[in-house]
Structure 1
Amino acid sequence: MVLLELFSGIGGFSMGLQAAGYSFEKVFFSEIEKHAIANFKYNFPYAEHIGSVTDIAKVGIARPDIITFGSPCQNFSAVGDGTGLRGEASSLVRYAVEAVEKFRPDVFIWENVKGILFARHRADFWSIVKAFADIGGYRLEWQLLNTAWFLPQSRERMYLVGRIAEKCAGEVFPLFPPREKHGKGKQDSVYSDGCGTIMQNYYKQPNFGNYILHLKAGETFDGTPTSEQSERIRMLTETECERLHGFPDGHTRYGVYEDGSVRTVPRANRYAMLGNAVSVPVVAEVARKIKETTLF
C-alpha cells in the first residue's frame, strides 16, 4: 500500500495506521514547518517529503491507497478568529480536496477541531462535504471523537472518512468508547449531533495548547518521585505531552535537518508540534474500523 500524509506534522496518522496493522510500501508526506519535517524524517526514514500541499497538483507520485490530512484549524477553533474557510490557514483544506480528486485513493481521512461542527461554521462544513461528494463515488462518514476515550486528556476532534462506495462492506461510524470504562449512557451524550453519513450524493444529516498539570502532594505523571507536601502547578514535560497523545517517549526529541545532520528539536518547537498532532490511539481505532469494513 501507499500512504500520502498531507499537513503531516509529526506523523500521528502514520503511527496510528501502523498500530492498526497497516503496512506501507511507500509513504509520502507534505509539510512546511522545518522542525516537523526534520522530525518526520527521523522517525520515518523511508518516507519521502513532497513539499508544500499548495503544489499538490504538480506532484508526480504513485497513486496513494490512503490519504490523510489534519488540515489547519485556526480559523475553525473556538479560540480562533471565526473566519472559517475565509481564513488563510483553514482554507488550505481545498488542496486536500484537490489531492483526493487527483489521486482518487481508496480511503481518505480528515481530522479537524470540534469548531468545524459549530453553527457559525455549518455552511463551511457542508461546503467541504459537498466538495468531496462532488468528486463522485465516495461514501463519507464523520463523527466527533475524544482522546479522553483512550488517554487522560480531553481533546474533541471531528474525523471524516471517505471510502470508494463500492468497496464499503459496512459503516465506520458510530465509534464509541468501551462501556466498561466510561459508563452506561456516556456514548449517547458524546454521539449527539456529532455524527453523519453521506453516500455519494445522498445527504443524511444527523486544546491541547494548555500544558499545565495540577498535582496534589505525592502525585506524579511521568514517574518522577516527589516529596512535596503542598499542591503545586507546573508545566507538563515534553515526554508527558507525547504520552498524552500516545506517542513513544522521545518521539519529538530529534530531527534530520536539511544538511543531513541529526539535531535536537528545540523545546518550544516540540510543544508546538505536539499541540498540532493527532492522537495516535484515536487514529488507530478509526483505522481498525476502516480495515474491518473496507474491501482493499
Structure 2
Amino acid sequence: MPEITLGSLFDGIGVFPLAAARCGIVPVWASEIEAAPISITKRHFPGVKHLGDITKLHGGAIPSVHVLTFGSPCQNLSQIGNRTGLAGAKSNLFFHAIRIIQEMRDATKGVYPIIAVWENVMGAFSSNDRMDFRAVLSAFADTEISMPPSGRWANAGMVRGGCPDIAWRLMDAQYWASPRLARRQRIFLVADFGGRRAPEILFKPRTMQPLPASGGTRRMFASEGDRGAFLEARGRVPIVRPFQGFRMRGAAKQGEQTAFQNSFGFPTDPFPTLLAGAVSPFAFWYEDDPEGGCIRFPTELESERMMGLPEGWTKYGIGGEEIRSAQRYKALGNAIALPCAEYIMTGIYEVLGGVA
C-alpha cells in the first residue's frame, strides 16, 4: 500500500506527527517558528522537513500531503485569553492555514490534501458572540454556514452535502486513556475533501491504544479517584489531588477552617488543564501521614505523562542540549493530548488505507 503522508502546521512539539507515526502515517514536513519546539521535533523526527513561518508559505510550492493538521494559536479564543477571537493577532493565523490548503488543492487539481484536521480550545465555540466557530466552518466549507436555531454550537456536529465533508467534536483528554490523563477539553474538526468519511473518522468507536512506554514503573497520573497509580515501598499510599487555590483564599478570608482544609481537594475534583502561561499546583501526601503533605507543582516529566506523551519527550533538543524548564512547560501547555490525536489518526488511516 502506498504511504499516507502528513504535513503539520503550527506543529509545536510534534504531537500530530507522533500520533500519525504510531498509526502508520508518515510525517513529511512541519511548520513552526519557536526554537525550542522545533529543536524537540527535529530530535524525534530527523527526516521531517521544517518549513518555517506559515505566513511565508505557499501551499502550491510545498510537498503535497494526504493529511494536513493544524492547531492554530488559541490565545484570542481561549476563555482565559483576551477573547478578541479570529480577528486577534494570533488566532487569525487560522486563515493562513485555510489559504495553504486551498493553494495545495489548486496546485494538485483538487487531489491533496484529502483530509484536514483542525484543533483548538473550547472557547472557539463562544468567542466573538459565537460567530468565530461559524467563520471556521464557513472557511472550510467555502460557503456561508448558518447559525444553529438554538444560537449555540453543539459539542459535536456535522456539515454535510458539500466539499469538504465536515465533522467536529469536543474531546476531553481525561477520558481517552487509562489511567486517566489531565483534563483537557479541545475541539477537533475533520474535513474530508475526498469523500463523506469525516463522521467515521471522528465518531466511530475504537479501542484506545496503549500509552507510550514509560521507561519505568513508578508512573504517577492525574488519575481517577484520589490515589496515585503505584504503591510506595513499605505499603505507603500516595494521595494526589488538585489544589483549589480559590477555595483557600475564600476560606482564609472568611476564617472557615473546614473550607480551608477542603482546598486541598476532593477525590472528585478534576485536575486542571495544563496551560502555556502557568503551572497549576496540586496537593500531595501519604495516606498514613496527612500532616506531612505538601503543595507542589507538577514536574516537566509529570506534565508529559498527563498529556499521554513518552517520558522525556520535551527534555532534549536536536543537538542533545537540555530544553529549559520554562520552555518545556510552555510547549506542553500549548500541546495536544496524544491519545486524542491518535484516535483521529487511526480513523484517518482506516479510511485512507485503500485510497492513498
- Would you call these one fold, judging by a TM-score over 0.5? yes
Which runs of structure 2 are paired with 1:1-296 in the superposition (5 Å)? 1-19=4-22, 21-24=23-26, 27-57=28-58, 60-104=61-105, 105-118=113-126, 120-134=128-142, 137-149=163-175, 150=177, 151-166=180-195, 168=197, 171-174=200-203, 207-209=273-275, 210-218=278-286, 229-256=291-318, 261-294=319-352, 296=355
Between the aligned partners of 1:212 and 1:168, the Cα distance in structure 2 is 39
The question of whether the paired residues in 2 share the 8 Å contact of 1:13 and 1:68 is answered with yes
Q: Based on CA coordinates, which of the two structures has the bigger radius of gyration? A: 2
The superposition leaves residues 261-283 of structure 1 with CA deviations (integer Å, 9 ceiling, x where unpaired) of 43111111000000000011110
Secondary structure in 2 aligned to 1:171?
helix
The superposition leaves residues 97-117 of structure 1 with CA deviations (integer Å, 9 ceiling, x where unpaired) of 012112230111100000001
Displacement, 1:215?
3.2
- Unaligned runs of at least 5 residues, structure 2: 106-112, 144-161, 208-222, 225-272
The question of whether the paired residues in 1 share the 8 Å contact of 2:191 and 2:198 is answered with no
Between the aligned partners of 2:28 and 2:129, the Cα distance in structure 1 is 33
Secondary structure in 1 aligned to 2:68?
strand
TM-score normalized with structure 2 length: 0.67
State the AA in 2 paired with 1:133.
A
Query: Which structure exhibits the higher relative contact order, with contacts defined as CA atoms closer than 8 Å and separated by 6 or more residues?
Result: 1
Displacement, 1:54?
0.5
Q: Which has the higher helix share?
A: 1
Matched residues, number: 258
State the AA in 1 paired with 2:166.
L
Displacement, 1:156?
0.3
TM-score normalized with structure 1 length: 0.79
C-alpha RMSD of the superposition: 2.6
The question of whether the paired residues in 2 share the 8 Å contact of 1:13 and 1:283 is answered with yes
Between the aligned partners of 2:195 and 2:59, the Cα distance in structure 1 is 29
- Unaligned runs of at least 5 residues, structure 1: 183-206, 220-225
The question of whether the paired residues in 1 share the 8 Å contact of 2:59 and 2:100 is answered with no
Give the stretch that moved more between structures: 163-172 or 119-128: 163-172
Secondary structure in 2 aligned to 1:57?
coil
The question of whether the paired residues in 1 share the 8 Å contact of 2:59 and 2:103 is answered with no
Between the aligned partners of 2:342 and 2:54, the Cα distance in structure 1 is 24
The question of whether the paired residues in 2 share the 8 Å contact of 1:140 and 1:161 is answered with yes
Percent of pairs identical after alignment? Answer: 33
State the AA in 2 paired with 1:292.
E
Secondary structure in 1 aligned to 2:55?
helix
Aligned to 1:192: none
Q: Which has the higher strand share?
A: 1
Displacement, 1:132?
1.1
The superposition leaves residues 234-280 of structure 1 with CA deviations (integer Å, 9 ceiling, x where unpaired) of 01000000111111111101112xxxx43111111000000000011
Between the aligned partners of 2:103 and 2:40, the Cα distance in structure 1 is 28
Secondary structure in 1 aligned to 2:81?
coil
Displacement, 1:284?
0.6
